[in-house]
Structure 1
């Protein structure tokens, strides 16, 4: 008779416990409390001033402000711990060590970035700024079969995106304008609906100008209809220049509250009356090519060298048609007689390139006018090999727009730094997707109060003694030290069995820099086993050669021995905006939505 083995699985339940304040927090508290068991309002004010915080948090009514902070801190503590509610404190109450720890660990009261307000000089021409730019802004999902809608446009504007792209095609009856991705299965949305939504949501997140880039596949009659529609919808907020070819673009400050159009004369309707043009090197050119590795959220963003090499290989095997915006002046002059005069008059930022077919020709600067040039990510990767300084010089006065290659059918994105370090203002991203590249974009535009315009570093605007060469090695300008103390909040935002069915999670943190190749690196802490409130206490150091463009990447994961590690949160922060000191860092989900409670306690120090 055989024997039978019986395996019993017990579901283990672990209670969480609060972690004590880190030693650095204790030392900080002792320093500003004068060694006493409590800290008064004066000590709180001294702490805020010493760390670059808001001194107004302890102003003339310092004791009352300390009471307000303390009440918020203890209320948050009660909500997180579901314990007995702490009584409301009276005026003049002092801060204890635990209260001070809760204050530091509050992402609302002690955030990692400076106060969210515009602080860059906004009076320079638009060419001096990076502009938060969307690509195919009307798509709800992939590039081939998703719906076209005004909803992703609204979401982008609510996030602070300042450049919205619309692809205009004749409708089936040829008497109106549809917005859709040409030569795909995407379902159309009307131009009028998109324009009305742009007007309604243009300035909910930022007062600075919204630029509408138009991919134009219309007949002159429909162009005229577009002009009338645009004027009717936007009225006085539509800005267009009095002169046909301005020598300099206006500033974001001058254009506050205004909407601008950017496009160039079309040619497709002359080639084929019923349309069917290839645009922007996008997916319809090669829809069967497949997807990119970084379509999945977990893949790292490719570095410069990888992207440049990939561009060379793809160029050798594929012969794509040029972007419809890259015609020379001769073709454009032939088209002027077909372009509706009023429509042409409304274009503020004109796209196109000088006569000639070489990269050097495309990057020539005309002292008498400014323009916008569009390059695919592949074209840029090839161009930077031999024309890096020419690109930098071009972007000092003109606008350069970079768009995703056509094989990104899943709406994935690319490494934005190859464009940013060469001065490209409009690095266009698919905002409806997600992934690490898009996390970088979200983080980059948290700078300057999240207004959607970030002033380019001074070195990219200098022509003397020489134009900046991105290929030249740069010395380390400053070092950022990052200490990761602990994390908390997962126990409130996730089910107890979300990460592990039978035990508490084993969290670890990843911390690193995204930037130029010399600065880009990722490091990680050890995994803390069986704890919803992990304490790491690990410090990392990052030497930065181009700190002006560097982004701090922060991720949390749960270690899984047998399967892929679980994602537990992420954020990206502009290094230039970090506040030194101990800060609470809120984490976001894969799509960039903030978790209600998940956060890390970290310290930032510049050397």
Structure 2
């Protein structure tokens, strides 16, 4: 490799360097003094570029056994820095599992390379491995859970002219969605169709959607899927809908109450794993749609199996002005929130967090639209095995709860925590421009989403012309008062001084699922898919406030 080829290579991997730095690299790696890098010299260049100085500093502080880490040294790191409650046996197992040098492994020692490998493993990532599997009680009634929910699931783009496709259902179900929407209309050939009525969106057959749901409903989660049917069909085509559902879904479809006697409460996600509930005429068992006529009317007249749907601004108004009353309503009844068709023709989304704060279970979003709101939804449901069900905190499940997310009167929900975040570095950020010479100027923003008192965001400076291994080493402090409802979002953007910043990647997770200490943060693109090599490196510390 010539100096010019090295410079081009660096630009390709998102680093812009001047000629002086190129000269420095060559003097460091060109042992043969030929002016070209060959063989081992190219490997030396790679080692220089991928050197993680921040990791070296951490490793050196604990490598107290002949310059290497013993199991006891590694245990000190895990206990003192990572705040993990583990023992020497666990530390020894990590060395056996992740050390790359066989000689060191035989001596029960961990090299710096092995330490770096370990820091990229699931045990060391920002989210606790224990929270990634199903860890919550799944035997409570459905109304005690937040349920991952989609609106206009059939659409891939906007709500006026966009295409309808079974792919919308596949994508949502693969992401763990447990409530999908079907807007059903009379088809011209006698077969019911799904599309956004009175618009130019394309049409798909109802039976094809049911087949797609049958195939993909339980690829990600084994827990129940609710089919939210908005039916505009004639009686004849409604009968055909019921026929298709029964014949295609078969025994997976709930067509009568579970158990031997008439139910008095909604079933739990766990009950014999009979998997689909729906609402259609007399086949609606647990989620019959009824008009909301006020909280008092609901208390006195609405049955547990009757679910009300709220337009976003009505729900937001209740959440702000009648929060505690809304919480009581959601203790034993399901609420479904949906985006306004009038103001969201482009399939944009509203903020779901204030609705979760008052216990609304089915907060339906346009899954087809990349946005902050969908990042928050994906973040909330990353926990509990991506089952699509997250158990609400106790104070959102108790009939006598005094919790109000707006006023925050004293109660067991108040747990003031000081949250310290150090944004250290990033690795292998993708380019955002297709132009080969365009190098990103990355910055990181840390956001807290939750009750109003907890909402906050802070931002690093940008690093000029380096998306490969930018360093920040910036510290932030946040006060969190209701940790069980808080979500933490990391956003990486390409700074632009003359227009809005460009999105590079993000990661969102529940605050209570995060691990303390030095952690790598995986990053996701705008569609919610993992960026394979891009990561942040941070240090987190959450301590009880005095």
Structure-2-length-normalised TM-score:
0.82
| Distance of aligned partners of 1:35 and 1:509 in 2 relative to their CA distance in 1, 3 Å threshold | farther
Residues 397, 408 of structure 1: alpha-carbon distance in 2 compared, 3 angstrom cutoff: same
Alpha-carbon spacing, 1:199–1:182, altered in 2? closer, same or farther (3 Å):
same
| Distance in 2 (alpha carbons) for counterparts of 1:95 and 1:385 | 54
| 1:37 equivalenced with 2:52 (yes/no) | no
- Equivalent residue for 1:525? 460
2:337 to 384, 398, 402: 402
Equivalent of residue 218 in structure 2, options 195, 203, 206: 203
Distance 1:567 1:250 in 2: 41
Instruction: State the shift of 1:516 in Å.
Output: 1.7
- Equivalent residue, structure 2, for 1:482: 421
Matched, 1:247 2:264: yes
Distance 1:398 1:57, change over 3 A: farther
Aligned to 1:17: 49
Residue segments in structure 2 that go unaligned for 5+ positions in a row: 1-7, 23-47
Aligned to 1:412: 348
Contact 2:338 2:363 in 1 (8 A): yes
Superposition deviation, residue 473 in structure 1: 3.1
Q: 259, 279, 283: which one pairs with 2:276? A: 259
The alpha-carbon distance between structure 1 residues 220 and 102, as it changes in their structure 2 partners (threshold 3 A), is same
Change (3 A) 1:471 1:451: same
In the alignment, structure 1 residue 130 sits paired with structure 2 residue 146: yes
1:562 positional shift: 3.9
Counterpart pick for 2:477 among 518, 541, 546: 541
Following superposition of structure 1 onto structure 2, how do residues 325-344 of structure 1 map, counting pairs within 5 Å?
Answer: 344=282
Are 2:248 and 1:233 aligned?
Answer: yes
* Closer, same or farther: CA 473–257 of 1 in aligned 2, 3 Å: same
**Residues 206-246 of structure 1: CA deviation (Å, up to 9, x unaligned):** 11111111111122222222222111111111123338974
Measured in 1, the distance between the counterparts of 2:83 and 2:273 equals 30
Alpha carbons of structure 1 residues 347 and 472: separation in structure 2 relative to 1, 3 Å: same
The residue number in structure 1 matching 2:183 is 167
Equivalent residue number for residue 497 of structure 2? 561
The equivalent of 2:30 in structure 1 is none
Check the 8 A contact 1:247/1:368 in 2, yes or no: no
Pick from 168, 174, 185: which aligns with 2:200? 185
CA distance in 1, matches of 2:121, 2:436: 27
User: Corresponding residue for 2:520?
Assistant: 584
Q: Give the structure 1 partner of residue 4 of structure 2.
A: none
TM-fit CA distance, 1:97: 3.2
Does residue 110 of structure 1 match 2:124?
Answer: yes
Whole-Å separation in 1 of the counterparts to 2:495 and 2:103: 40
Partner Cα distance (2:440, 2:340) in 1? 39
Partner of residue 283 from structure 2, selected from 342, 345, 361: 345
Question: What's the CA shift for 1:187?
Answer: 1.2
Q: Does 1:383 align with 2:318?
A: yes
The 1:218–1:556 alpha-carbon spacing in structure 2 relative to 1, beyond 3 Å, is same
Shift, 1:455, TM fit: 0.5
| Maintained 8 Å contact 2:289/2:306 | yes
The answer to whether the 8 Å contact 1:178/1:188 transfers is: yes
For residues 28 and 433 of structure 1, what CA distance do their matches in structure 2 show? 42
Describe the superposition over 1:158-199 as per-residue Cα deviations: whole angstroms up to 9, x where unpaired: 1111111101111013x2211111111111111111111111
Q: For residues 206 and 47 of structure 1, do their structure 2 counterparts lie closer, same or farther at Cα, with a shift above 3 Å needed?
A: farther
Q: Distance in 2 between matches of 1:37 and 1:352?
A: 69
Give, in whole Å, the separation in 1 of the partners of 2:186 and 2:269.
Answer: 33
**1:329-381, CA deviations, whole angstroms, 9 ceiling, x for partnerless residues?**
xxxxxxxxxxxxxxx13543111047xx5x33564354854321100111112
Give me the CA root mean square deviation. Answer: 3.0
CA 1:186 to 1:586, structure 2 compared with 1: closer, same or farther past 3 Å?
A: same
Structure 1 residue 54: Cα displacement: 9.7
Higher mean C-alpha displacement, 137-146 vs 563-572: 563-572
Q: Distance in 2 between matches of 1:228 and 1:145?
A: 30
What does 1:76-95 correspond to in 2, within 5 Å? 91-92=106-107, 94-95=109-110
Does structure 1 retain, via aligned residues, the 8 Å contact 2:406–2:451? no
How does the TM-score come out when normalised to structure 1? Answer: 0.74
- Superposition deviation, residue 35 in structure 1: 5.8
Corresponding residue to 1:472 among 388, 400, 407: 407
Deviation at 1:113, TM superposition (A): 0.9
Q: Secondary structure at the match of 1:155?
A: helix
1:513 matched to 2:542? The reply is: no
- The alpha carbon displacement at 1:519 in A equals 0.9
Match of 1:66 among 79, 95, 117: 95
Aligned residue pairs: how many?
Answer: 491
Please state how far the C-alpha of 1:41 moved relative to its aligned partner: 3.9
User: Counterparts of 2:327 and 2:104 in 1: how far apart (Å)?
Assistant: 58
Equivalence for 1:314: none
Q: What is the alpha-carbon distance in structure 2 between the residues aligned to residue 606 and residue 410 of structure 1?
A: 39
Query: Structure 1 unaligned runs (5+)?
Result: 1-9, 75-86, 266-343
| Residue 334 of structure 1: aligned partner | none
- 1-structure distance, mates of 2:246, 2:88: 47
Contact 1:111-1:583 within 8 A present in 2 as well:
yes
Structure-2 change in CA distance of 1:509 and 1:405 (3 Å)? same
Aligned to 1:601, the other structure's residue is in SS state strand
Contact 1:21 1:101 in 2 (8 A): no
What CA distance in whole angstroms lies between the structure 2 residues aligned with 1:539 and 1:35? Answer: 31
Contact residue 147 and residue 361 of structure 2 kept, 8 A: yes
Equivalent pair of 2:149/2:364 in contact (CA under 8 Å): yes
Residues 108-137 of structure 1, C-alpha deviations (whole Å, 9 max, x = no match): 552211222011111100000000000011
C-alpha distance in structure 2 between counterparts of 1:133 and 1:518, whole Å: 26
Q: What is the alpha-carbon distance in structure 1 between the residues aligned to residue 443 and residue 393 of structure 2?
A: 34
